[in-house]
A and B are shown apart, each in its own frame.
Chain A
C-alpha cells in the first residue's frame, strides 16, 4: 500500500517537477513569478488533444505541433507582455499582474474554443502493467518517469554545461553586466520562457494521458503546486525544483491515502509552510551572496 502510493506520488511529482523548473528558471532570470506557467501547462495538454482529434490525426505530430505552439505562447508572454515593462524599468509587481492576466486569458480562451467540460484523453503510453505482490506499476508510470528524468537531465545540462546556459545564469545575476559581455539579454529571456513553456506543455500532455482526461481548471491547481514545489526546493536552483516537485507529489499522494483525499492539497501546502519556516531559502536554496 505504502509502496504503491509512493510510486504513484513519484509519477505525478515528476510532472510537477517539470512545471516547477519553469517557475524556477523564469524566476532565476527575471525575479518574477510567471503565473501563466500553470495555464501554459493546461494549454499544452489541450493543444495536443485538439490537434490530434480535430486536425492532424497523428498523435506524435500533434504533440510536436502543440509544443511548438505553446513555445510561441511563452515567447509572446515575454515579448509582448513583459519586455516593454523591463525597458521602462516598471516595478516588478506590474509584470506579475501581466502574467496573471495572461493566465486568465489562456484559461478563458481554452474554455471558449474547446469548451469547459472535462474531455477524455487518449493514453498513448498504455502498454500494460506489471504486478509485484500488491504493487502495480503501469507502463504509463514508467514512461512518464523516464521522460521527466530525461527532460530534467537535458535541462540541467543545457543550463549548467552549455554556453547558452551560462548566459542564462549570467543574466540571472546581472542583466546590465550580461549586456556588457555581449549577451543578447532579451534573446536569453525569450529562450527561458520558451523552454519553460515546452516543459510545462509536455507535463500537461503526460498528465492528460495519465489521468485520461483533461479540463481547463487543471492549470490553476497544478500551477500552484508546482510553484510551491519550486519554493520548497529552493527557487532559482534547478535541482531544487526537481526534488521539490517529486516531494510535493509524494506528500500529497501519501496524505490523500493515509489521512483523507479531501486534505490532498492542504497537506502538501502545510508541509511547504513548515519547511519554509525552518529553511526559508528552501531545501536546496543558496544563501544569498550579496552583490557588492
Chain B
C-alpha cells in the first residue's frame, strides 16, 4: 500500500503545460528523490501534492484516499508537509516563532515534543532561537525551513531542494539529517539538483524531463544508469 500515489497528474500555468501526465508512488518509510534539470517540473509536482497549485487532470491518493481536492490545510493536518524551494521562512519572526508556526495545527504538547527533536537535529536553531529569521545566513535559513516543516509532525515530508545554496560541508550534513529524519519514522519525498548525494541516501528515484517521468528505478540502478550519469551526475 503506497503512502502517496500520483496518477496521471497534469498541471498548467496558463498555456504552459508544466506537468504532462505524471504518475509515481512513495511507499511508507522510503526516501524517494525526484531529479531533473531546471524547469523540468519538480517544484510544480511538490506544489501540486500540497495543494498550492490546482490540478488540471489526474488524481492524488494518500493512504489510499483521493486527496486531489483537499485544501492545503487539510493536507497539513493529515501529515503532508512541504519545506518549499527558496525556504520561505517568516523573516520578521524569530527562529523560535518560525518553528512554532510550523506546529500551527498541532497541540502545545505535540509542539514541545517535536521542538526538542528539531533542536537535537539542528542545535543552531536553539542557539539562535531569538534571532529574527530574516537575519540568519542562507544555510541557517534552510535548516530552519526543514525544522519548521518537521514541526508540522509530517508523515510525509516533502523537501524541495534543501541543499540549495549551502556550502559543500553543510550539504553533507543536510543529507545525513534527512536520513535521520527518515529513521525517526518520516517518509521523505526529496527534490534535488545534487543528484549524486540525493541518490546515495534514497531508496528509489524518478527522473523528470519537461513535465514527464522519463526514468525510474532504485537509487543504485539510477546511479549506474548511463543516461543519468551523463545528464545529472556530470560524468
List A contacts of B89 (CB < 8 A).
Answer: 177
List A contacts of B81 (CB < 8 A).
Answer: 180
Is B211's beta carbon under 8 Å from chain A? no
Give a binary string over B89-102; 1 marks a CB under 8 Å from any A CB, 0 the rest: 11111000100111
List A contacts of B82 (CB < 8 A).
Answer: 180
Least distance between B52 CB and chain A CB atoms (Å): 6
List B contacts of A289 (CB < 8 A).
Answer: 91-92, 132, 134-135
Least distance between B73 CB and chain A CB atoms (Å): 5
Instruction: Please state if B88 and A174 are interface contacts (CB–CB under 8 Å).
Output: yes
The residue in A173, A181, A289 that gathers the most chain B C-beta atoms within 10 A of its C-beta is A181
Instruction: Please state if B84 and A170 are interface contacts (CB–CB under 8 Å).
Output: no
Give a binary string over B72-94; 1 marks a CB under 8 Å from any A CB, 0 the rest: 11001100011010011111110
List B contacts of A181 (CB < 8 A).
Answer: 76, 101-102, 104-105, 148, 152
Instruction: Please state if A292 and B101 are interface contacts (CB–CB under 8 Å).
Output: no
Instruction: Please state if A290 and B91 are interface contacts (CB–CB under 8 Å).
Output: yes
Instruction: Report Cα–Cα, A291/B87, bound state, in Å.
Output: 10
Instruction: Report Cα–Cα, A183/B90, bound state, in Å.
Output: 13
Give a binary string over A277-292; 1 marks a CB under 8 Å from any B CB, 0 the rest: 0000000001001111
Instruction: Report Cα–Cα, A286/B97, bound state, in Å.
Output: 18
List A contacts of B102 (CB < 8 A).
Answer: 181
Is B50's beta carbon under 8 Å from chain A? yes
Instruction: Please state if B91 and A180 are interface contacts (CB–CB under 8 Å).
Output: no
Least distance between A180 CB and chain B CB atoms (Å): 6
Given A176-B88, A181-B104, residue A292 in contact with residue B141 (CB < 8 A): yes
Instruction: Please state if B76 and A173 are interface contacts (CB–CB under 8 Å).
Output: no
List B contacts of A173 (CB < 8 A).
Answer: 90-93
Instruction: Report Cα–Cα, A219/B27, bound state, in Å.
Output: 60
Instruction: Please state if B104 and A291 are interface contacts (CB–CB under 8 Å).
Output: no
Instruction: Please state if B134 and A166 are interface contacts (CB–CB under 8 Å).
Output: no
Closest Cβ neighbor of B82 among chain A residues: A180
Given A181-B102, A182-B152, residue A170 in contact with residue B132 (CB < 8 A): no
List B contacts of A183 (CB < 8 A).
Answer: 73, 104
Instruction: Please state if A174 and B90 are interface contacts (CB–CB under 8 Å).
Output: yes
Instruction: Report Cα–Cα, A176/B52, bound state, in Å.
Output: 8
Given A166-B97, A290-B134, A291-B134, residue A179 in contact with residue B92 (CB < 8 A): no
Closest Cβ neighbor of A286 among chain B residues: B92
Is B58's beta carbon under 8 Å from chain A? no
Least distance between A111 CB and chain B CB atoms (Å): 41
Least distance between A284 CB and chain B CB atoms (Å): 14
Is B57's beta carbon under 8 Å from chain A? no
Is A218's beta carbon under 8 Å from chain B? no
Least distance between A278 CB and chain B CB atoms (Å): 24
Is B138's beta carbon under 8 Å from chain A? yes
List A contacts of B76 (CB < 8 A).
Answer: 180-182
* Set A169, A286, A292: member contacting B93, Cβ < 8 A: A169
List B contacts of A184 (CB < 8 A).
Answer: 71, 73
Residues of A with Cβ closer than 8 Å to B?
Answer: 163, 166-167, 169-170, 173-174, 176-177, 179-184, 286, 289-292
What are 13 A-B contacts with C-beta separation under 8 Å?
Answer: A163-B104, A167-B104, A169-B92, A173-B90, A174-B88, A179-B73, A180-B72, A180-B81, A180-B82, A180-B84, A181-B152, A182-B105, A292-B134
